[in-house]
Amino acid sequence: MDLDAFVAVHSADWNSLDRLTKRRRLTGAEVDEMVLLYQRAATHLSVVRSSSHDPALVARLSGTVGRARTRISGGNEPPAREFARMFTVSFPAAVYRSRWWSLGAAAGSALVALALGWWVAVTPRVQASVGSEQQIQQLVQNDFESYYSENAASGFAVQVWTNNAWVAALCFVLGITGVGVVYVLAQNALNLGLVGGLMAANDRLDLFFGLILPHGLLELTCVFVAAGAGLKVFWAWVDPGPRSRGRAVGEEGRAMVTIAIGLVVVLLVSGVVEAFVTPSPLPTWARITIGAVVWLVFLGYVWRYGRTAALAGETGDLAAELAGDVRPVAG
């Protein structure tokens, strides 16, 4: 299918449907026109989904048809259904769509943390610049481990949840700047690399990974997901593609808000693991296994539901049942 020609032929109908959907009052003739245009746009959406993988066009048509459908039906879905849809369609689809940005954030952070950690571990001069020998020994022999157990687990879980949510929020708020997200990621990677390097230099690397990995797998993944969403908004501003710059930023911004809401729950799970599993008396292998299982469950959830929703319509704004509500109309 010639996508450009398809858009040129039908964009006037889509724009008319948008205008009618936004009007507060419609005449009888305008209602009939809106229903007809809605049916046509739904058919066009089905055609685009089956023959094109242009996410911008799918997102544009999904939004148009979704708004028109809500206007025509005169109400919203039940709250329970909307909630279920949020966590089975919208959130995993948004995370899946920004996966390459998240993977880039993860890879960049890992390189910075590993490079700094190696440099600190093999360079006594750098270690000396961090603090005195007594301060470093206090950190590696006591403070790092006691951090996870010095407070009550329930209160610590809330504290961790709040701190991690703040880091993720910074990625969202600073997303449009691009540089702000990179700064947050760099600070996180530098802190991780510095502590890891000091632990390695004092033969405590086993303790470092034994305490970081149980919760860190999921926690850092959340940070990278937030960073990926923020960077995707930034890139929509830099290179909006066929969309207008305002429209591109708006669409990616809405996806970012969806991710932010979903991460509230995921970060809570991460906080519970950090408060109750990381400092527990379980063997190191058992704690890491629990953390890895929780992490893999999250990745599997995003892959299962996010990939399905993204392939069906990229944004997940409309589910497959839409096709059953609308009979194709020529056009």
pLDDT tens, 203-261?
A: 999 999 999 999 999 999 999 999 999 999 999 888 888 878 888 888 888 888 889 88
Cβ atoms of 171 and 229 within 8 Å: the answer is: yes
* Cα–Cα separations (whole angstroms), residue 200 to 62, 118, 121: 52, 8, 6
pLDDT band at 314 (very low <50, low <70, confident <90, very high): very low
Mean pLDDT of 35-53: 81
Most confident listed range (172-186, 189-203, 246-260): 189-203
d(CA 90, CA 309): 8
pLDDT band at 79 (very low <50, low <70, confident <90, very high): low
pLDDT at 327 over 70: no
Classify residue 78 by its DSSP letter: P
Handedness of CA 322, 326, 329, 331 (dihedral sign): negative
Would you give the distance in Å from CA 151 to the centre of its chain?
Answer: 30
Looking from the CA of 161 toward its CB, the CA atoms found within 13 Å total 18
Mean pLDDT of 265-288: 91
Percent of the chain with pLDDT strictly greater than 70:
86
Beta strands in the chain (DSSP E): none
User: What's at 179, amino acid-wise?
Assistant: V
Average confidence score pLDDT of the chain:
83
d(CA 54, CA 63): 14
Q: In this predicted structure, which of 76-90, 103-117, 181-195 has the lowest mean pLDDT?
A: 76-90
pLDDT at 66 over 90: no
Specify the pLDDT at position 322.
Answer: 31
pLDDT band at 74 (very low <50, low <70, confident <90, very high): low
d(CA 181, CA 203): 33
Residues across the chain? 331
pLDDT at 283 over 90: yes
Specify the pLDDT at position 156.
Answer: 61
Q: Which has the closest alpha carbon to 67: 127, 15, 2, 142? A: 15
